[in-house]
Amino acid sequence: MPIGTGTYVFGPDNATLTVRTKKGGAAAKAGHDLEIEVQKWEARLELGEVSSASLTADARSFKVIAATGGAAPFGAEEKAAIPQTIDEEILKGTAIEFQSSRVEADRGGHSVAIDGELEMFGERRPVSFSLNVGFDGRLSGAATVTQTRWGIEPYTALFGTLRVADDVIVEIRASTGS
């Protein structure tokens, strides 16, 4: 089902915004790949003569949904501690905002190409990604966010032998409601 012109508003009620992190470093075997869901966010997609896309997310609303890999089991205590660590040591509650500079749907309405700037940790950097429109009208897209481009030092532990990979994948999955 192609996407048509109009205004689409997305948030936790009709969509998911997920952050996927990978482990790295000499002791990567000890760490976990994480799937983190953003609990408070809003996005707006306008398709028409003047198209645009924007998103705001609360850096303090991250929740670990799944953890895979790792030498030891991933406990509830660690699950709860990660959002606190993200808040206190990584993002420090700074604003997360995306504003498009170009939004272009293909002729068939099956994909939307988006360029823009993402503000995070007080820095604005360009980001490009595509939203694909499924037959059921659902939208999905992913962007790679390289932490150091925003001045974020990837998190390390175990005396630097375990680290979060610099590239983080941000995924959006949404229903267009039609």
Partner 1 sequence: MIELDHTFSTGKPTDYNWEAILDLDRLVPCVEGGSVLERTGPDEAKAEIAVKMGAMSLTFRGTVVIAERDDAEHRAVVRVKSRDTGGSGYANADVTFTLSDGGGSVHTAAQISGKAASMGEGVVQTVLDALITDFTQKLAAI
Amino acid at site 134: G
Residue 48 contacts partner 1 per CB under 8 A: no
Task: Please count the CA atoms within 13 angstroms of the CA of 172 that sit on its side-chain side.
Answer: 29
The verdict on 84 binding partner 1 (CB under 8 A) reads yes
Interface stretch with partner 1, choices 4-12, 14-22, 37-45, 80-88 (CB under 8 A): 80-88
List C-alpha distances in Å: 63 to 103, 129, 166: 30, 24, 20
Q: How far is the CB of 60 from partner 1 (least distance, A)?
A: 15
Does position 26 bind partner 1 by CB under 8 A?
A: yes
Of the pair 34, 133, the CB lying nearest partner 1 is at 34
Q: Does residue 27 touch partner 1 according to CB under 8 A?
A: yes
Nearest distance, CB of residue 166 and partner 1, angstroms: 17
Amino acid type, 21: T
- Give the x-and-dash track for 134-173 against partner 1 (CB under 8 A): -----------------------xxxxxx-----------
Q: Which residues contact 73 (CB under 8 A, 6 or more apart)?
A: none
Closest CA to 99 of 114, 78, 121, 79: 114
Query: Which residues make Cβ contacts (< 8 Å) with residue 105, sequence separation at least 6?
Result: 3, 47, 51, 111, 112, 113
In the bound complex, what is the minimum distance in angstroms from residue 171's beta carbon to partner 1?
Answer: 22
Number of residues that bind partner 1 (CB under 8 A): 20
Asked if residue 1 binds partner 1 (CB under 8 A), the reply is no
Among positions 99-118, residues that touch partner 1 (CB under 8 A) are none
Tell me the one-letter amino acid at 149. Answer: R
CA distance 168 to 55: 17
Q: Tell me the pairing of strands 15-21 and 33-38.
A: antiparallel
Smallest distance from partner 1 to CB 73, Å:
8
Binding site for partner 1 (CB under 8 A): 26-27, 29-32, 71-72, 77-78, 81-82, 84-85, 157-162
